[in-house]
Every structure is written in C-alpha cells, then in structure tokens.
Amino acid sequence: MNKFSCSQIEQGHLFHIKGNNALSPLDALSLQVPEKLFHYSPLDNMGFVAKLGQSEFLLYRDNEESWDDWPDSVSDPQTYVFPRDDALFTLNGENWSEFMLQVCSFDFSKSTPGEFILANMAGVSTWFRVPSSDEPLVFGCDPSYGHYLYSTMQEILAS
Amino acid sequence: MSSRLPRQPLEWVDREKTISFSFEGKSYTGFEGDSITSALLANGVSQLGRSFKYHRPRGVFSLANHDVNALCQTEETTHIRADITPIVEGMQLTATNTLGGLKNDKGRFIQWIAKLLPVGFYYKAFHTPKCLFKFWEGIIRHMAGLGTVNTSWPAKRVSKRYGFCDFLVVGSGPSGMSAALEAAKSGLNVILVEENAHLGGSLGYQAANNTEVGELRKSLKEQVLASDNIDVQVGSVASAYYGDHWIPVTGPEGIIKVRAKSVIVAAGLFEQPAVFHNNDVPGVMLASGAQRLVSRYAVKPCDKAVMLIANEEGYQAASDMLEAGIEIVAIADLGQSTQRGEVAKAVAAAGVTIFDQHAIYSVEQEQEKVSGVTLCKVDQDGQCDTSSSVKLSCDGVLMSVGWAPAAALLYQAGVGMGYDETLEQFVPQTLPAGVFAAGKLNGVFDLYDRIKDGAEAGKQAAAFVLGQEIQVTRPARSSKAHSHHYPIFEHPKHKNFVDLDEDVQLADLQNAAKEGFDNIELMKRFTTIGMGPSQGKHSNMNGIRVLSRVTGLSIPETGSTTARPFFHPVPIKHLAGRRFRAEQLTPMHDFHVKNNAVFMEAGAWLRPEYYGSPDDRANAIQRESLNVRENLGLIDVSTLGKIEVFGPDAPVLMDRLYTMRMSNLAVGMTRYALMVDEAGVIIDDGVAARYSDEHYYFTTTTSSANSAFQLIQRYIIEWGLDVQAVNRTGQLAAMNLAGPVSRAMLQAHTDIDLSEESFPYLGFKKGKVMGVPAILLRVGFVGELGYEIHVRANQAGQLWDQLMSAGQSFGIKPFGVEAQRLLRLEKAHIIVGQDTDGLTDPYQASMGWSAHLKKDFFLGKRSLEMLKPKQQKRLLGFMLPKHYQGGTPKECHLLIKNNEINGRVTSVSFSPTFKRFIGLAFVDDPEAVVGDSIQIRLDDGRLVTAELVSTPFYDPDSKRQKVDVDDYQEVA
C-alpha cells in the first residue's frame, strides 16, 4: 500500500488581497497576519493568512460561511480583493517531502512549519502551506492546471 | 564452469543461486551476482563481441565499463554492457554488430581490406559523385551499426527526481569513504555515489587477499554504512557536472538531480592500455580487469599469462594472479623491475621470469584467441629492437602500463588540470569554490596517504559549507611515475589499436596529425578517437601521447579534451524521466468534449479548433463562421491573458506599456491595446478596459499572458511606479457571444442595459448574466455585434451551458478557433505571431494608426520614430479570383515578382462570405497599391495570381458591430 495519498479540496474560500492598504480588511476580520514574508498564520481547520509581500496576502477560509460577497464589501480604494478558484490539494503521508522530490526542485526537507512556499511543481506554479508534523501538506495552483496536477500526482502515486 | 575459481574472499556472486541464460543461441548458467561477461568467461566463452568498424573479435578488456568490447542485445533492449550488467534468469542475448552471428560474422572479412579504410575514408572516397553518397552511406551505416533498435518496444518511463545534500562524494574507494566520513562529522548530509554494486573502489579488487588492506576496507565500509547522515547510492554514476554543483546521479531507478553544497571527486583512475600489434584480440586485457574478474566473480582471466608492466600496480596484479593460481609465464617490464618496490621483488622471488626494458611487440592468435606473444627489447623512446625478440606461448596478456584520471566531472566543473611530469598523469591544479579532489585522481597513490587525502578533502569541504576558515595539510603527491610516458609500439602490420570503440589504430592518428589535424580537438573529431560509447576512457591519454610525439610538443602543450555532459552513456528513458507536460483546460472543457470538439494546443491550453468530424473539418469551420455571421455563435476565449493593474500610477503605466494613449480612456470604455518591445517589434495585443481612474483590466494574447505579466512587473519596478498588477488569467473565464442577434438574446438574461445608448461599441459593463457576476466587454474581433463575458472560473461552465440552452431559439452554435481565425481575417484583424513575426513593427502591419508618437514616452517609441520613415514592406489584403480551382495557397507561401521573392502570405483561408480565397500578405514593395497583382508560389512551384484589395474585406465601416443589422446580404 502506498504511504502517500493526494486528495482534492472542494470547499473553502480563497482570496488574493493586494494594495497599499491590504492589511486593513484582514485587521477588520481580526485575523493574525504573519510577520515574516512567505510565512502563514494558521486559521481554523486548514485555513491560513499567507504573506506574499508587504502589501499582498492570500487568505483561505475553510468553513461553510458564505464569503462570496466579501470582496465587494471591501470599499477601500487602496485595497483590492480578488476571489480565487485555485485547485487545492492535500498530500498525506508522514514523510511527504520525500515524495515531493519527484515533482519539485525545492528542498522541502529544509522547510519549517509556517513557511509558505511558491515553487514549480511538475511544471506548474504552485503554492505550498508547509504544515506542522501532524497535518497534511496543502498546496494549490491555477484552476486551469488542476486536472493535470491531480492526474499527475495520481499517476506517480500509482507507480 | 571451467574457469570458475574457488571461493574468493570478496566475491560478489552467490553460489547458492544458479541462473540460466543464453548467448548467441547457446544456453549457459551462472551465479546470481555474475555479470554477463563473467558468466560467459566462467563458461569458457572468451569471444564476446565484434568491433565497430572491422568486425574484429573482442573479449573482456577492462571489466569496468571503460570499453564496449562486450555489447549485447535482447529482443527488447540494445547496447547492454555485458561487463557490468547482471545476468537475469531466462535472458536471451546476442552480440551486437554482427552480420550472421558472432562466430560467423560476415563482416569479419572487412579487416582484410583495412588498409583501404583509414579514418575519414568515406569523406575522401565517396564525396563524388554526390548522388552516390547516400548509397555508400547506407552501406557504411549497415556495416558499422551498433545493435538493432526495436522501435516497437513499449515506452518505459522512469522517475527522475531531485536530491539535495551538503556534500556529494563521488567514488567510494579509500579516499571517497574517508572524505565522506570526515564531512559527515559536521553533522551535515552526505551523498556517497559509487558506480559499482559494492563500496570499496580499488580496495575491492586490488590486494584482495591482503589482511591489512582487508581490515582497512572493512573498517571504512562499516563506518560509512553505520553513519546516519551518509546516504550511500551504489550502482550509480555521477554523470555530469553543471553549474552550482548540480549533478545528475544516474542509478538503476533513474536520474537523481542532486544539488550539492560541495562536491568531493574521488573517482580514481582509468587504467590505460598499451598499444601493440593485435592488442585487441580476446585474451588481451588490463591487469585491473583481471583483478576485478578474480576478486568479484572468482573467474580466471586465463591459465597462462604474459604481463606487460610499467608500475607497481602491475606487480600487485601479478601477485594477485599468482594467488589465484594463474601461471605467469613472464613479465615484460618497460623499465626496471628493481625499481617497482617490494611487491615486484616478491613476484620475482616466486620464480616469475621478468624481462626488464622489454615490450610486447605483437600478440599471436589462433582461432581468434591469444596463443602467444613476441617480446622485444625497448629503448627509452619506446622503439622496439626486433632483433632481440622472444616468443612465448600463453593464452592471456595482462597490461599495467599507466592510468588516466577519472576527471570528467572536474573538467566540467572548470577545474584546471595540468600534466605532472613526475607522475606522467594529469592532475587537478586549480579548483573552483566548493569542488575538491582526492585520492589517486589527485596524484596520491599510497593507501594511507589516500585515506588521509580524502579526510583532509572532507574537512575542507565541511569548512567551505560551514563558512569556516581552516588550514589543512594534504599528503604529497606520489614521487614516482605510475604511468609510462609512451606505452605505444609501432608495427608494420598495424592492428595496434588506440581506441577499441572506434577501431582507431596508431597509424590513423599519426596520419591525421600529418594531414593537418594536429590539434587535439581536431584530431578527436577527424579520427573519432574518444567519441565512442566509452568517451575516451581507455583511449584519450594514448591519443594525446601520440599527437605529442608527432608534433614534437610536450603533453601540457598538446593539452587534453573535455568530456562533455553526460560523460558516461545514459539510457534515453532515464534522460526522459517521467514526462511533465503541463496542460491547461478551460472551465468549459467538458462541454467541448461532449460536443465533439477537435482540440488544438495553444501553449499549454487545449482549445476547440472546431466541432465535428476531422473528415469534415473544412465544412465544419465554414458552417461555424457562417452561423456567427447569420445567427449567433459562442466561443470559449478563456485562454486570453487577463491582467488587472491598479494604484495611483496605473494610467502612467498603461501609457508607457502600450502604443496607444490609455490615460485619456474614459472610465467605462475599452480600447485596442498594442504592445511593442524596445525595438518597436509587436509583441502582444489585446483590449484594455478602464474600471476607474486608477484601475485597468486588460487582455493579452493567449501565448503572451505570462510573459506580458512578467514584463509589466519588471517595468513597474524599473520605472518606480506606485501601481500593482495581478495576473487573473486562470482565475477568470471568458466567452464571446457574437452574431447579429447577440444583443436580443443576451438582454433577456442580464441586468445590464445593452441598448446602444447605454452600452455602446467598445464599452464595458459590470453586472449579472444568468445571475452570475460578470464583466461584459463590447468588442468585435470577429466583426459582428458581440459581447465578451468574463466571469469567475468556477461559475463559467454553468453560465456557458445556460447561454447555449437559452440561445437555442436564436440558432446559437459553439465555434472554434479556426472559425474565429476566418472571421477575424475577413475583418483583417491581425493575430500577433501569425501576421507578425519577430521583426514586425506596427507600420509594417499597416497599423501605424496605433502608434501614438505624440505621447511623451512609451515602450519602443524611439524605435518606432526611427522606423516610421523606413518601411520596406506592408501587410496587405489579397483575394484570389472567385472561381479559382487550382492548388491551395498556404500561410508562409512566398510572393514572387520578376523571379525574386517579394513577400509572403501570413494568413489565407477560403471565405464562405466572399466565396473565394482571401488572405493577408507582407508585400516587400512599399509602392504596392490596391488593385496591383501579386503572384503566390504554391508548394508545387506553380504561381497563382491574386489581387491586392483594400481591407477590411468584410463590413469596412463596422456597421455590424455597432447596430443590429438584419440584412446580412446588405453588408456582405
């Protein structure tokens, strides 16, 4: 039996927040924002706020609340909130960094929980939420590549 | 198993497990762990292959993958290296490169006409008449082939993965193991790469019975295997070196692309052969090969050996052979045996006859095997005195005359290699940061010195990785030569081979040098020395020595060649690895599949080319285009690049990026957006919409989405603008609803007022379509009233289905990329990359109107100012006669005027609207005007006359894009 498995995440809401006042909507939601660049603060379940730049964040809420209207409610002209439909996945397995050696040139064995990595995976630009030891690796990519990345992962796992 | 020895202390074979296989149709058995070569030799089979050019019989030589004398094939696989490939139960092998089998190879007669076939003979003999070269080429390739490739074999994909370490140690001899152990003391990660199946390097086959050496070997191996931070990769080759310590390690499971922080190369040496008459006959082999055969596989190389020796290692080999029960008939020492140390004395004391200052002049053969040798006295220059010859009977010849460093990785890493005239060997002189060399390759030969040298290299590497400064004392290089300066002996009958892979003889090299190929690189290419599968491992050093002697230059002056990556052959399947071919699908892909779309690739995207059967392609495209003109069409344009820029400097950025002025674009409107590079060359186009004073949304061509975004990000930084950009290409889907009834159909399903007054041509609106939040852009790429609808990707599939359903009563049909290309051609809208090339500026594309040179600045402005008055060609429309029946003009067909090329076709298609071929072409004649004729040269060379016409072909006043036009015929 394979020691790794990959699943798609179907639920949740992902937002790309960018602009000179990008922090303000996150502050309004009382969300803890990571201090360091390319790190994330965990939210409930597998949610997170990731810091991609001084004025750029990625927010993922894995809950059932409707967030569809949230971007429109942010009225600050210096803040732009874009809902995203990334293909989201989890990679389960104790030593998932070993599996990643087959698809990614980034050395995940040196990464630490809390890091938010942007890297190329099997030819696709992908973000990775480096988990604590008891969690799966969560990663996502442009939705148009979702089928390809999923089928590629399944093919490798099957081999 | 006539040649199998009693159990040897380090043997690799498992005598409890017998394996059956066949070679050349005969069945044999061997033990698990045997290589094909060792199993065949154990069965008394000494002839293992035929040579590349002359089809001479060949046997085991290095047993180290440093030659390809023994190449085999099975039904499925070719180029199996018998020396290192383990036998497998049921394996059915044949030798490669034979015409009718190994024994009765019809090609073997070629060697009798070898005089007529010197290197490069085909260039000299067959270059005229030119028409016959193909004929001769076929024969030559047939005779000189290496195996048969079964092209119907199943594709086998193997994993290619990445690896990371702090230290990559290449070679697991005493130097490599001690280097790994020392580096591992830092607590950092070490990968130790060993080509063979077991650790030990030369400790595994030289002096295998020596107790002291055995203890050292055992201790080092145990320490390495017990270390938690040494990852041992056996059966793997560090095949190349790329920048920043990036090394592909080729192993049985595929390639590991290792990024190391430092590299220690302790790969040892390749034993080099002597060159004498018949030095390739089965039974002639390197002494180290014989040691491998005895120690690893417990197989005798021969019963009665004559040895040619020029170093201490040769006497150690003689001692090992005596220990194994092999009779040493005599030793010919190229120098003085009294200078070869204690081991030489021991061999002499054992009663072996030693001929000092003697060489092997020739080998005699019977039934294609060694039957004896002729020794001659030899002087310091290597000249044989044939008057003093001694004939000896034997069935094997073992050579130990010198070494060459396994330094391919070092060469590739930029290490400066220099020739040490004491050692008679190339050694590393200058090393780049993070690269270290140790052991024999570094010129250190004493066993304890090699262990120390490795350990010191490990310390240096650790200090480098940890950023520390340390002082180390590396052992001195050996003070005496371990290689003979010229172990190469002339013979009037030649057949004294320098390169066994390519059948290159001494005279070939001498003649090449005399013909002017007297530079080492030139000689390599002309004679092909070192260009065979062994990549010069056993031949390059002697090639250098020969050239040096012919030219009178020293070895350092002659220089050496650089082994290029990969220096060792790697299976294609390993290079290919698992195929990662990223593919993008739009959210409407399932609909396209269900509706029989034939897909085309657009970058990584799959797009519907048309819907229908490939047998009906042309009709399908015309049907789809006519339906857009007459009724209603829907095309998936999700692949367009979609970028938003926002911030106080957004208007400035847009003005600088595009040729047209964007800062005066009214909020709520769109404008054609053309981008050129610094040279004024068109690189992209699309439509820009202004959402607010500081916020724009624009599209790019499908293929330019990523490159345009990168360019924008770069210029935002370079220009220091307070503006931000987001690439939303995959996050948003888009579809173009086009046709005269598009407004009527769409109005019922949107909260946006689509009236001409409220939503004019080139406007955009945000609202809802079928309840889905959407952005509507009123653009007209296909030349009809139309609305581009942009929505979130996760809502697009559903919206598309609803529009298709709601549009049924309006005659809606999906249309593909080809119909769109035809429709836009009728409007003479260009496609960047099809109607432009890497040199096209807006003036050549007849789009001078798009370059607003009055703007203060935009990318490429200065170039366009210079190019504007210098136009030498223009993109113009043409039409063929209405009832033209000849061959079909194609894109890239040339225009011909007065027998000279006068331009080329960029787009052409049969227009159902005009019922004739229409197209766009670059005409290299600025004076050409509408009404002139052009001639297009077809594939078969015929010329077709076409007429230059004004464009757009269709609806020149764009009435159909601005109002509902019911009478289709009126504008067509």
Picking from B607, B622, B696, the residue whose alpha carbon sits closest to that of residue B656 is B696
SS3 B222: helix
- Identify the pLDDT of residue A64: 64
CA dist A38 and B831 (Å) reads: 39
CA dist B812 and B802 (Å) reads: 12
Interface check B578 vs A, CB under 8 A? yes
- Identify the pLDDT of residue B114: 83
Quick one: average pLDDT of B603-630? 96
DSSP 8-state secondary structure symbol assigned to residue B85: S
For chain B, percent of residues with pLDDT exceeding 90: 86
Min CA distance, B626 vs chain A (Å)?
A: 30
Per residue in A76-100, pLDDT tens?
A: 778 999 999 999 999 999 889 999 9
- Identify the pLDDT of residue B968: 44
Interface check B244 vs A, CB under 8 A? no
Give me the DSSP letters along B488-553: B---TT---EEETTTTEEHHHHHHHHHTT--SHHHHHHHH-TT-STTTTTTTHHHHHHHHHHHHT-
CA dist B254 and B161 (Å) reads: 8
**Tokens standing for residue B50:** 């035929």
Per residue in B889-903, pLDDT tens?
A: 999 999 999 899 999
Per residue in B73-105, pLDDT tens?
A: 998 888 899 999 999 999 999 999 899 999 999
- Identify the pLDDT of residue B23: 98
A6 HSE (CA, 13 A, CB side): 20
Picking from B595, B584, B585, the residue whose alpha carbon sits closest to that of residue B624 is B595
What pTM, to 2 d.p., does this model score? Answer: 0.87
Taking CA atoms, B344 is separated from B294, B401, B448, B616, in Å, by: 20, 14, 20, 85
CA dist A101 and A114 (Å) reads: 20
- Identify the pLDDT of residue B971: 44
Interface check A21 vs B, CB under 8 A? no
Quick one: average pLDDT of B367-371? 94
DSSP 8-state secondary structure symbol assigned to residue B275: B
Give the pLDDT band (50/70/90) at residue B823.
very high
**Tokens standing for residue B551:** 């030219």
Hey, which bits of chain A come out as E strands? 5-9, 13-18, 40-42, 48-53, 56-61, 80-84, 87-92, 116-121, 124-129, 137-141
Nearest residue, CB atoms, B730 vs list A20, A55, A143: A143
Give me the DSSP letters along A25-68: HHHHTT----SSTTBEEE-STT-EEEEEETTEEEEEE-SSS--T
For chain A, percent of residues with pLDDT exceeding 90: 75
| Average pLDDT of chain B to the nearest whole number | 94
Looking up tokens 């010849």 gives B397
SS3 B931: coil
Taking CA atoms, B467 is separated from B179, B230, B247, B279, in Å, by: 18, 21, 22, 51
B726 and A145 within 8 Å at the Cβ level: the answer is no
Picking from B701, B640, B691, the residue whose alpha carbon sits closest to that of residue B670 is B691
Interface check B257 vs A, CB under 8 A? yes
Give me the DSSP letters along B151-162: TTSPP-----EE
Quickly count: other Cβ atoms within 10 Å of residue B365's Cβ.
16
Nearest residue, CB atoms, A85 vs list B259, B726, B794: B794
- Identify the pLDDT of residue B963: 67
Triad A113, A116, A122: Cα angle to 5°: 110
List CB contacts (< 8 A) between B584 and chain A.
142, 144-145, 148
Interface check B229 vs A, CB under 8 A? no
φ and ψ at residue A131, rounded to 5 degrees: -90, 170
A82 and B728 within 8 Å at the Cβ level: the answer is yes
Per residue in B165-208, pLDDT tens?
A: 999 999 999 999 999 999 999 999 999 999 999 999 999 999 88
Picking from A79, A52, A50, the residue whose alpha carbon sits closest to that of residue A138 is A50
Four-CA torsion B919, B920, B925, B928, nearest 10 degrees: 60
CA dist B197 and B216 (Å) reads: 19
A84 and B731 within 8 Å at the Cβ level: the answer is yes
A104 and B162 within 8 Å at the Cβ level: the answer is yes
A110 and B644 within 8 Å at the Cβ level: the answer is no
Quick one: average pLDDT of B444-466? 97
DSSP 8-state secondary structure symbol assigned to residue B584: B
Interface check A105 vs B, CB under 8 A? yes
Min CA distance, B578 vs chain A (Å)?
A: 9
Looking up tokens 């400035």 gives B652
A101 and B162 within 8 Å at the Cβ level: the answer is yes
Burial class of B299 by CB neighbour count within 10 A (0 to 12, 13 to 18, 19+): buried
Interface check B605 vs A, CB under 8 A? yes
Residues in contact with B124: Cβ distance below 8 Å, sequence separation at least 6, in sequence order: none
Interface check B316 vs A, CB under 8 A? no
- Do residues B621 and B700 make contact, with C-beta atoms less than 8 angstroms apart? no
CA dist B935 and B953 (Å) reads: 19
List CB contacts (< 8 A) between B159 and chain A.
102, 156, 159
B719 HSE (CA, 13 A, CB side): 21
Interface check A53 vs B, CB under 8 A? no
Rounded (to 5) percent helix, strand, coil in chain B: 30, 30, 45
CA dist B193 and B266 (Å) reads: 10
List CB contacts (< 8 A) between B188 and chain A.
none
* Order of all β-strands in the sheet with B724-727: B670-676, B682-692, B695-700, B641-646, B724-727
Burial class of B514 by CB neighbour count within 10 A (0 to 12, 13 to 18, 19+): exposed
Instruction: Establish whether the linkage from the previous residue to B952 is cis, with ω within 30° of 0.
Output: yes
- Do residues B500 and B535 make contact, with C-beta atoms less than 8 angstroms apart? no
**Which strand (E) or helix (H) includes residue B58?**
strand B57-58
Least confident span in B111-120, B208-217, B362-371? B111-120
CA dist B877 and B413 (Å) reads: 56
Nearest residue, CB atoms, A124 vs list B582, B692, B731: B582
Residue of A nearest to B588 (CA): A144
Interface check A67 vs B, CB under 8 A? no
- Identify the pLDDT of residue B972: 42
Least confident span in A58-67, B594-603, B797-806? A58-67
CA dist B370 and B395 (Å) reads: 5
- Identify the pLDDT of residue A74: 74
Per residue in B289-316, pLDDT tens?
A: 999 999 999 999 999 999 999 999 999 9
Interface check A157 vs B, CB under 8 A? no
Nearest residue, CB atoms, B584 vs list A109, A145, A156: A145
- Identify the pLDDT of residue A2: 62
**Which strand (E) or helix (H) includes residue B558?**
helix B555-558
SS3 A95: coil
B580 and A103 within 8 Å at the Cβ level: the answer is yes
Assess whether pLDDT exceeds 60 at residue B269: yes
- Do residues B874 and B926 make contact, with C-beta atoms less than 8 angstroms apart? yes
Per residue in B679-738, pLDDT tens?
A: 999 999 999 999 999 999 999 999 999 999 999 999 999 999 999 999 999 999 999 999
Assess whether pLDDT exceeds 50 at residue B568: yes
Give me the DSSP letters along B357-417: TEEEEEEEEETTEEEEEEEEEE-TT--EEEEEEEEEE-SEEEEE--EEE--HHHHHTT-EE
For chain B, percent of residues with pLDDT exceeding 70: 99
Residue of B nearest to A84 (CA): B731
CA dist B100 and B240 (Å) reads: 37
- Do residues B489 and B382 make contact, with C-beta atoms less than 8 angstroms apart? yes
CA dist B436 and B415 (Å) reads: 9
CA dist B170 and B932 (Å) reads: 71
- Identify the pLDDT of residue B145: 63
Quickly count: other Cβ atoms within 10 Å of residue B867's Cβ.
19
Picking from A90, A127, A133, A126, the residue whose alpha carbon sits closest to that of residue A109 is A133
Per residue in B401-439, pLDDT tens?
A: 999 999 999 999 999 999 999 999 999 999 999 999 999
- Identify the pLDDT of residue B124: 77
DSSP 8-state secondary structure symbol assigned to residue B66: S
Nearest residue, CB atoms, B792 vs list A85, A145, A148: A85
B578 and A102 within 8 Å at the Cβ level: the answer is yes
